């Protein structure tokens, strides 16, 4: 059984890693447009699935929390795809995986949780790696720097989603939770688009890439990890997303010829090692 679950988890990691590269195939679409159709498409599929496999009623008391999580998920994807358009795929995906740092800060400052030595070392390594990467080419005002900052902001927004999910998700099925979560995220992006006057439409030639964004990183990627957490230790599943920057960088190199710098390799290895240590130590 475990071998099959590990295989599913690996497929999920591969799927998630296509989140950034696929967006490069629709360069004319705004980040908000890409994020909207990814969320709207995934929500539509999951709600359609509900007509086949009936889900129990959702406790109305949980709707406000899921709505807030959906709003922050929308902001996460809006910032993430903005980062993909401004900086390299490698940088965007790496800085977008730093949510554990923000959740740790919340737990320490707000919940007053103590930090073990392992957590402190992991946090130090994660930050040190980011400094190595950013310090190698930091120049305020450049597109690349703004892109890295947008990716970092996407991590902060994702941290809020994770914190809410930790409280709500155990009492709701994965499909029930994600279909509402994606729906609220899509509605948030729609409202932002309408208020800003941004065109959320797309050409027919872009449809296949948007469909792949719905299927690979969203439905296959995230849902595989939600499935695996039922059978594997949370620490194992929790550490898997840290492989996304590695695979996304490989895809970017193969598909688009993006060069991976020495600073990124060194800093990325240090950051990912720190995040894995931080995740395991917190458990």
Dihedral sign from CA coordinates of 131, 136, 137, 139: positive
The segments of the chain whose pLDDT lies below 50 read: none
CA distances from 182 to 51, 156, 197, 244, 248 (A): 17, 18, 22, 21, 23
Q: What is the pLDDT of residue 160?
A: 92
CB 245 within 8 A of CB 93: yes
Q: What is the pLDDT of residue 229?
A: 62
Dihedral sign from CA coordinates of 236, 76, 216, 62: positive
Q: What is the pLDDT of residue 134?
A: 65
Q: Residue holding tokens 């447009």?
A: 33
Torsion angle defined by CA atoms of residues 100, 105, 110 and 112, in that order, rounded to the nearest 10 degrees: 100
Q: For the whole model, what pTM was predicted? A: 0.88
At CA 36, angle to CA 59 and CA 96, rounded to 5?
90
């Amino acid at each position: 059984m475990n071998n099959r679950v590990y295989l599913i988890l690996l497929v999920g990691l591969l799927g998630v890693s296509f989140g950034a590269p696929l967006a490069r195939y629709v360069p004319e679409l705004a980040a908000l447009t890409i994020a909207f159709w990814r969320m709207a498409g995934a929500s539509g599929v999951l709600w359609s699935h509900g007509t086949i496999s009936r889900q129990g009623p959702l406790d109305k008391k949980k709707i406000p929390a899921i709505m807030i999580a959906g709003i922050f998920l929308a902001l996460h994807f809006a910032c993430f795809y903005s980062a993909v358009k401004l900086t390299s795929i490698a940088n965007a995906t790496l800085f977008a995986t730093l949510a554990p740092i923000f959740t740790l800060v919340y737990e320490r400052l707000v919940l007053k949780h103590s930090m073990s030595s392992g957590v402190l070392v992991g946090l130090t390594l994660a930050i040190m790696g980011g400094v190595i990467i950013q310090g190698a080419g930091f120049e305020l005002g450049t597109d690349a720097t703004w892109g890295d900052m947008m990716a970092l902001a996407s991590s902060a927004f994702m941290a809020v989603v994770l914190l809410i999910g930790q409280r709500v998700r155990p009492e709701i099925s994965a499909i029930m939770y994600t279909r509402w979560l994606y729906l609220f995220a899509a509605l948030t992006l729609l409202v932002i688009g309408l208020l800003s006057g941004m065109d959320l439409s797309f050409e027919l030639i872009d449809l296949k890439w948007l469909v792949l964004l719905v299927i690979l990183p969203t439905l296959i990627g995230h849902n595989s990890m939600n499935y695996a957490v039922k059978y594997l230790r949370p620490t194992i599943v929790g550490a898997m997303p840290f492989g996304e920057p590695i695979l996304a960088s490989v895809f970017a190199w193969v598909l688009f010829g993006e060069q991976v710098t020495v600073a990124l390799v060194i800093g990325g290895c240090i950051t990912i090692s720190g995040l894995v240590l931080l995740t395991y130590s917190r458990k």
